[in-house]
Structure 1
Amino acid sequence: MIVFITVALVMLLSCTVVPVCGSIWFATRAARSGRRRGLHVLRGLVVAAGGVVVLALVAWNTRIDEHYDDFGSLMTTLAGIAGGALLVVGIGPCTPWLLGVLGRRAVRLPPVFRTAARRMAGRPAAVAATVAATALAATVMIIQSAVDAQGRATYEPEARMGTPVERGYESGTGWRVVIAAAVLVAFACALAMIRTVRPARVLDRVSGGLRMLLTCRAAFGAACGTVIGTAVGCVIGLLLAWPMTAPIDWEPPPRAPFETPWALLAALAFGLPVLAAAVTVLAPLVLRVAGRDRGR
């Protein structure tokens, strides 16, 4: 079981590079397509829907608590991971359209918020990267919870040489490394959205000034990526939890229920935007760089 989970985790990490890069590339291409943007959005929705269908089929085929052979279970899990990758890639072309809709809906907001929302339409690559990284973090959070619950339910104490005290089931540390790396990438992409502040006349129209504009841009851009990414990750994680906990023993015990880490997922979706805004306010280096861009 441990070998199977390790191989599946390695494949999950390997399969994240292509969908992340693909999502960024398709988002950038859709943003530059002009009148053909609707076609890119349609294609993205079709790809995303196909990924959801694959995930649903994989979850359905592994729902029964019975013996699954090692190779077949691994291939089923890889099919589910591929479905999750399709979902992430399909979201990419939809990102510029969604940012445009949010920018148009912000007409009734105060000027500083309206300017920040409209300017985000020009940063689809950073938002798409934030979505993909956040989706990975949310997916691994849910899978870790499911695998740990199954591991605790099926754990059998074993005597250890020289150690009379049995510690009990211990969760692997690899999950936390993956989550931390994905969160760090998502946070870096969120901060990248505030890098450029080009026209000085835009700053003159904003009553809150440069600091407020950058803060709103960081919070709004990060929220666009983290909220969507968390939702996508929940879909992938909850459906992948079935094949990731599929028993490979000949006499498998009942599958253990697990608690979805909603608190951690909420912190991921809403905590990163707050943190990005706080860093923008407190980091003088960011403001000095933006000030030099303004003076050009």
Structure 2
Amino acid sequence: MFGPPVAALAALCAVAAAVLILAGSVRVRRHPTRKVLDAALSHERTTSAVAGLLALLVIAYVLSPVGAADLTSSTHTPGLLLAVAPPATAVLLLAVRAVGELTWPRTQGAVRTAALSRRSVRSLGEWRLTLFLVTVAISAVGLVVFGLTAGEGGRAVDAPIQVSPDGWSTGSSGPYPGWPYGVPLLVALAVVTLATLGVLKLVSRRSVVSGATAAEDDALRRLSAAHVLAGVQLLVGLGTAAVMLLASLALFSADRSPAAFVAFAVATAIGITSVVAGLSVLARHPAPAAPAAPQPSAA
């Protein structure tokens, strides 16, 4: 049952790449003399729309009864694929973004003029990059703690020993994200982080928009970086929040209230912050338009 979903995702990625390449080709043919800034902004919007639609389709499949059943029954560790679905979707989103950067509109003709300025991944990412890296770090620390505190088998947490007149007893509560879940999630987080930095590097090194001022070109790069980081923040942040919420429920059931409250508070904070940060990009203004040419005054 694992083959068809993978084939469908591969097909979606291929279609997304084809759409981006075709859209860029059509713009070049239809507007050979059009200002490249307009075509670049349109390309950025198309890339963001295609990447977002692909992510929504994958998440819709994962949350559907059919998708949840397929992913749950595809491994020996129940729910593992559901846990890694958010970072895996982030990788798909980043793959589409990478295609968009590699098909960035380029100046046509023999003469090319552009303003040059030095940019870095850190400067383009701004506060969103810091938030993403902090989210990944908190998630990694949480997964290590969960792995170390999980009981035998790594899928549940042991309850404290209770002494009664008949003797002592203990129990366990799960599901709990121990090492069987933590190791794949840590690998997925590492892949997402490296892929995010790689795509941001493509943004910083892509072709300069010909005819645009340094401020216009820089604003367009920052818009692209904001779109990239907003997408991965939503997916990784909500995935991390879900894992920590699951851990908090298991800890509550195991009568470990202090640890449960901490996990629940962290899950809530990451979830809310990721939604606000991810959706705030919708209110971000596009690259500033070029100043209009002065109109000749009537005599």
Question: Fold-level match, TM-score > 0.5?
Answer: no
User: Using CA pairs below 8 Å that are at least 6 residues apart, which structure has the higher relative contact order?
Assistant: 1
With normalisation by structure 2, the TM-score equals 0.39
Structure with the bigger percentage of helix: 1
